[in-house]
């Protein structure tokens, strides 16, 4: 595991002085929620990959399939679940909001530390 930088080693204002260094900063440890796969079958449309602000969606490019999530960098924002067209098709009563952790979803958002059922 990479050694964490001390406050004297981080640039003033947290500025990024060299491009492409995000891999050095593991940000997944402070999230409150995390994505997990649900019961619904993924259609591998890659909307989650396209909209993920942290490039945390793992993809098998050769077989064109979504494999899962890179939890070392995922901040738990839930955008992947929000843009998932499979999630939008889950049946619910009119005007009913689904829970973010409803097992019927393709991408569920659960509280960090909660077991994956």
CATH number of residue 63's parent domain: 3.30.70
Query: 31 pLDDT exceeds 90?
Result: no
Q: Tell me the pLDDT band of 8, cut-offs 50, 70 and 90.
A: confident
- 100 in a domain, yes or no? yes
Whether this prediction's pTM lies above 0.85 is answered by no
Q: Which of 40-44, 58-62, 113-117 has the lowest mean pLDDT?
A: 113-117
Residue 53 lies in a domain: yes
DSSP string, 4-35: PPPTTTSPGGG---STT-GGG---GGG-SEEE
Task: Report how many domains make up the chain.
Answer: 1
Q: What is the tens place of the pLDDT at every residue in 57-104?
A: 999 999 999 999 999 999 999 999 999 999 888 877 667 777 888 888
Residues 60, 67: Cα–Cα separation, whole Å: 6
Residue 51 is encoded by which pair of tokens?
A: 């909209």
Give the H or E element holding residue 111: strand 107-111
Q: Which domain holds residue 51?
A: 12-111
């Amino acid at each position: 595991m990479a050694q964490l930088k001390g406050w004297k080693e981080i640039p003033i204002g947290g500025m990024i002085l060299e491009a492409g260094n995000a891999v050095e900063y593991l940000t997944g440890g402070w999230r409150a929620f995390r994505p997990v796969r649900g019961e619904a079958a993924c259609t591998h449309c890659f909307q989650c990959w396209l909209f993920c602000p942290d490039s945390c969606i793992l993809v098998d490019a050769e077989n064109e399939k979504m494999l899962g999530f890179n939890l070392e960098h995922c901040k738990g924002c839930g955008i992947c679940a929000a843009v998932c067209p499979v999630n939008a098709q889950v049946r619910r009563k009119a005007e009913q909001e689904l829970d973010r952790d409803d097992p019927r979803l393709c991408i569920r958002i659960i509280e960090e530390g909660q077991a994956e059922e």
